[in-house]
Chain A
Amino acid sequence: QKEVEQNSGPLSVPEGAIASLNCTYSDRGSQSFFWYRQYSGKSPELIMSIYSNGDKEDGRFTAQLNKASQYVSLLIRDSQPSDSATYLCAVIGDTGNQFYFGTGTSLTVIP
């Protein structure tokens, strides 16, 4: 069983602050990493993907990957109340056959 670990939260940040979400994974052979956002009662939607070490920026979102430490993070700058959701970290294992998901971190942005 591949493991993907996330802090369950809840994480609360004030509007305009930076939210930092963290994820570790056990399969050292993993190559592809994703962040999904899931609003209450809705299905997950992809917001970021990252495949190589370093940072990847997309608007207010930055994904960071450190394969040596088996660590991937998501930074949300200028957090908005609409960012309040559960964020799921997902990893494709070394066989390339399955997505493995963390249990998610609940984020609340306080106006």
Chain B
Amino acid sequence: DVKVTQSSRYLVKRTGEKVFLECVQDMDHENMFWYRQDPGLGLRLIYFSYDVKMKEKGDIPEGYSVSREKKERFSLILESASTNQTSMYLCASSLVRGGGTGELFFGEGSRLTVL
């Protein structure tokens, strides 16, 4: 079974802090994604990556950056956390470039609260 592991299930941070969300997948998938999920807004893509050291902006990249130094690991970074970044963050991976006919496998999510 594919396993996508997110390092923290629950985090509480203060405004202005730097936040790292880590994601690791164990199936050698090329594609990795970071989404945030908010009530009434659904899943919104923040960043995605098709290869090591490659990244592309999604629909809402402002206030976020990412790092992919190894194929299995994709990190989301909030340089200076703000209260409007309080959300559920979901990491996902897929096998086929661009998703293709494959499916997204999601991690369990990281619920971030910024005070």
**A: which residues have CB within 8 A of B?**
1, 8, 32, 34, 36, 42-46, 49, 51, 88, 90, 92, 95-99, 101-104
Contacts and interface: CB of A to CB of B under 8 A. Distances in A.
Chain A contact residues, majority secondary structure: loop
Contact of B98 (A1, A92, A101): A92
Chain B, interface size: which category? 20 to 34
Contact of B48 (A36, A98, A103): A98
B74 interface: no
B73 to A, nearest CB: 18
A53 to B, nearest CB: 16
Contacts of B56: 97
Interface stretch (B14-22, B61-69, B79-87, B103-111): B103-111
Nearest to B39: A103
Chain B contact residues, majority secondary structure: loop
Interface in B87-115: 90, 97-101, 103-104, 106-109
Contacts of A43: 90, 106-109
Interface of B: 33, 35, 40-43, 45, 48, 56, 58-59, 90, 97-101, 103-104, 106-109
B51 to A, nearest CB: 13
Contacts of A92: 98-100
Contacts of A98: 45, 48, 58, 98-99
A60 B107 CA distance: 26
Contacts of B59: 1
Contacts of A90: 104
Contacts of B41: 103
